[in-house]
Amino acid sequence: MAVKKFMYVNRKAPYGTIYALESLEVVLIGAAFDQDVSLAFIGDGVYELTKGQNTDGIGQKNFSPTYAALGDYDVNKIYVEKESLEERGLTLDDLQHLVWEDEDEDWAEKDSIRLVSRAELADVIADQDILLSF
């Protein structure tokens, strides 16, 4: 069975609705299937990756540390749309520093986040076999 390109498109803020959390659950389960996996964060979805999240005031679990574990699941292509960040007054420095270890290069630590323009992301999306949008 040929490997398919799976992309999870994250479009919602981390809290307020459950889409972000349940999307992450699909990504973690899906990682066991040895497919070509990537994630995209667009629109309010970029808030999912912000660092320093604190949910004490809303009585919900802060699940943002889980994103840092994605590298261990071989999920290391994380596309963040530049325009979405800019529209929200955010920069890469506001996001978690997500990394993975490349076993082909003596476990060198590499960045997982790829900052791409809207046009570039459109090309990446067009190249996918399966798009799961949350």
Partner 1 sequence: MKFSIQVNEGPYQHQASDTAYQFAKAAIAAGHEIFRVFFYHDGVNNATKLAVPPQDDRDIPKLWSELSKENNLDLVVCIAAAQRRGMMDVDEAKRQGFEDNNLKEGFRISGLGQLIEAGIESDRLVVFGA
Task: Write out the residues near partner 1 by the rule CB under 8 A.
Answer: 1, 4, 6, 18-19, 22, 25-26, 29-30, 32-33, 35, 129-134
CB of 100 to partner 1, least distance (A): 20
The residue among 33 and 107 lying less far from partner 1, judged by its C-beta, is: 33
Q: CA nearest 118: which of 81, 77, 92?
A: 81
Rg of the chain (C-alpha set): 14
CA atoms within 13 A of residue 66's CA, in its CB half-sphere: 15
Least distance from partner 1 to the Cβ atom of residue 28, Å: 9
Question: Shortest approach of partner 1 to residue 43 CB, angstroms?
Answer: 13
Nearest Cα to Cα of residue 88 among 50, 128, 32: 50
Contact 101, 109 (CB under 8 A): yes
Q: In this complex, which beta carbon is closest to partner 1, that of residue 21 or of residue 99?
A: 21
Q: Closest CB to partner 1 among 22 and 87? A: 22
